[in-house]
Amino acid sequence: MESVIIIVFVMGYLAITLEHNLKLDKLIPALIMMAVCWAIVALGVDSFSNWFDSANHGLVEGFKEMVHDDKMHLVEETLLHHLGKTAEILVFLLGAMTIVEIIDYFDGFSTIKSFVKTKKKKSILWIFSILAFVLSAIIDNLTATIVLISILQKIVKTREDRIWFAGLIIIAANAGGAFSPIGDVTTTMLWIGDKVSTGMLFAYLFIPSLLCMVIPSFIATFLPAFKGEIDYEEEVEKPKNPHSARMLYLGLGAIVFVPIFKTVTHLPPYVGMMLSLAVVATFAEIYSNSKFSISSIDGEQAEEHAEHATHSPVHASLSKIEMPSILFFLGILMAVAALESLGILFNFADSLKQGIPLIGTELDGTVVSDLVVILLGIGSAVIDNVPLVAASLGMFSEPLDNPLWHFIAFSAGTGGSMLIIGSAAGVVAMGMEKIDFFWYLKKISWLALIGFLIGSASFVIIRMFI
């Protein structure tokens, strides 16, 4: 039955990558893949020998001997656990996207746009790469990508040019998220699991992460796509919204507040994001002088409600949210969760650990671990990096701040840049700009690979001196 689930996953994965050839929106195979995988799990639960407990990052002891009802109860609990974790990401994403749209409603990004005086593609590339690197460490790589691509859409009007910048933003955002405990989901997992500390994470990974951003951006400046200047369309000068700068700083400040809220309260990030959204929405409604009700209204008030909704910045912003991208994210994460729950990913990672020494008996333990971690990084481009990191938590028993954990944080965080669907930042950019999987594979993946390998090499060197 495990092989059937893997075949379903591979077929769904291929359908997602061949989206443009099949003329089938990627959310459809993602949702089918999710539903079919979990249906097979439920129908064949008695034939499985392993079950991976995501909450404890280990295999359930004695699963094979359990009775059917106990196994089904475990399946339901696991499904609910993964739905909860996925919902945390999706609700966080919805909040961040809505704040970004509210800022755009007030033309807030024109403030940043006014700072970009140059039309040279090289200069714009460096500006956005540096911004992505810094912002992703402060807020997180997912939100940084949303914010920067939204700004990019205001500056670079030609989509053919813009997707090149978006590709480098993905690389820079994932690099910036790797050295910060709140910059990437996988790094946060290691941080919460008491495997890495903030200070040592910065000491080990700042330079490798910086090189992972700088080298691809530097190489990209020599590519034809970044030669010359952007096609600038003269726009009719619009009356500037008096609240644009204020809403920009309020919105970005609200997003930056989220990790602070998490650190103080120890609550999941989506709770802080909802608070931030509520504050931003309150000021948006005050500034727009419109009435707003989150509940639906029937009867005589419906017409009046509709009239107010037209002028509500919150309603207008919510209507622009890319729901297909949200559903795609739901499908792909829950499908990967099915593979994780059966211990398939755990066993795969463990087999790498056991199998690599067979390549050569002279390899010492450190080299073997490095090879495993590099393969995990490459694997995170193909499969979601979250379950791979979860598997590594069960594979290794090294203490807090062992270099191995920091290497895993770097490898899983930056390795996902090698494919467009290998990271949350890539998935969001794919949805926002409709980037083709194979275009990214041909044009951007090799840059991400070079950055990943150079960053990994620099980590090995830095490890010798810490």
SS (H, E, C) 266-324: CCCHHHHHHHHHHHHHHHHHHHHCCCCCCCCCCCCHHHHHHHHHHHCHHHHHHCCCCHH
Residue 335 domain flag: no
Q: Which residues of 158-176 are buried (b: 16+ CB within 10 A; e: fewer)?
A: eeebbbbbbbbbbbbbbbb
Residue 380 domain flag: no
Residue 223 domain flag: yes
Residue 305 domain flag: yes
Quote the number of domains for the chain: 1
pLDDT tens, position by position, for the chain (466 residues)? Answer: 778 888 888 888 788 777 767 778 878 988 999 999 999 988 888 888 778 776 666 677 777 778 888 888 888 888 898 888 888 878 877 887 788 788 888 887 777 767 777 778 898 999 999 999 988 887 778 878 888 888 888 788 888 888 999 999 999 999 998 998 878 877 877 876 678 888 899 999 999 999 999 999 999 999 998 888 876 555 544 556 778 888 888 988 888 788 788 778 888 878 988 999 999 999 998 888 744 444 444 444 444 444 444 568 888 888 877 788 788 878 887 887 888 788 776 666 566 556 555 443 334 456 667 887 888 888 888 766 766 776 676 567 678 888 889 999 999 889 989 988 788 788 888 878 888 888 999 999 999 999 999 999 999 999 888 7
DSSP state of 466: -
Query: For residue 390, what pLDDT is reported?
Result: 65
Query: For residue 175, what pLDDT is reported?
Result: 94
Q: Domain span at residue 304?
A: 91-318
Query: For residue 196, what pLDDT is reported?
Result: 86
389: burial class by Cβ within 10 Å (0-12, 13-18, 19+)? buried
DSSP state of 425: H
Residue 304 domain flag: yes
User: What is each CA distance from 109 to 93, 100, 144, 227, 276, in whole angstroms?
Assistant: 19, 9, 14, 25, 18
Residue 298 domain flag: yes
Residue 327 domain flag: no
Residue 349 domain flag: no
